[in-house]
């Protein structure tokens, strides 16, 4: 059973210290990939760009700096938890986004209601067993 949670959040794309602009970002969580969240950035003049990374990284990044490599998430001010920075990097290119914490927390709360944190493995196992069972049923039907 595939279910999903979606939200649209306005984020600031920080081009430089002097230049930033607001863009819509679609957040998506799907039970078929229960460990990941997907953020689709709608940059003006470009095709939408989607990044997938661990839901737990986003959860942890709201409260403290975390992430290594391509995706890093951290609160702007760890004492206030009002805004979050999301840094995405490919090679030497990087993009920095700032978002209010509240809509991210609301989205993450909805994902937790769909699949509680720590229960992703049970869901993934169930989907694998369901796929195996359906394959066997289809094979039996076509053989008979």
Q: pLDDT band at 81, cuts 50/70/90?
A: confident
Comparing 142 with 144, which gets the higher pLDDT? Answer: 142
Whole-number Å distance between alpha carbons of 62 and 100? 10
Among 9-13, 30-34, 108-112, the minimum mean pLDDT is found in 30-34
| pLDDT number for residue 43 | 84
Look at residue 37 and tell me whether its pLDDT is greater than 70.
Answer: yes
pLDDT tens digits for 123-133? 655 556 556 66
Whole-number Å distance between alpha carbons of 98 and 10? 9
Q: What is the mean predicted confidence (pLDDT) over 56-61?
A: 94
Look at residue 138 and tell me whether its pLDDT is greater than 80.
Answer: no
**Token pair for 6:** 């979606």
DSSP element (H, E) containing 139: helix 120-143
Q: pLDDT band at 62, cuts 50/70/90?
A: very high
Q: Yes or no: is domain 4-143 CATH 3.40.50.300?
A: no
Decide: pTM greater than 0.85.
no
């Amino acid at each position: 059973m595939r279910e999903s949670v979606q939200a649209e959040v306005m984020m600031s794309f920080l081009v430089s210290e002097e230049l930033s602009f607001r863009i819509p970002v679609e957040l998506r969580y799907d039970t078929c990939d229960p460990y990941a969240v997907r953020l689709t950035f709608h940059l003006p003049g470009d095709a939408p760009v989607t990044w997938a990374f661990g839901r737990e990284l986003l959860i942890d990044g709201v409260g403290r700096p975390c992430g290594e490599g391509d995706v890093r998430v951290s609160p702007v001010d760890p004492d206030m938890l009002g805004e979050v920075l999301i840094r995405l990097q490919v090679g030497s290119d990087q993009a920095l986004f700032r978002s209010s914490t509240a809509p991210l927390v609301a989205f993450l709360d909805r994902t937790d209601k769909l699949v509680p944190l720590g229960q992703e493995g049970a869901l993934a196992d169930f989907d694998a067993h369901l796929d195996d069972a359906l394959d066997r049923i289809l094979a039996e039907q076509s053989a008979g």
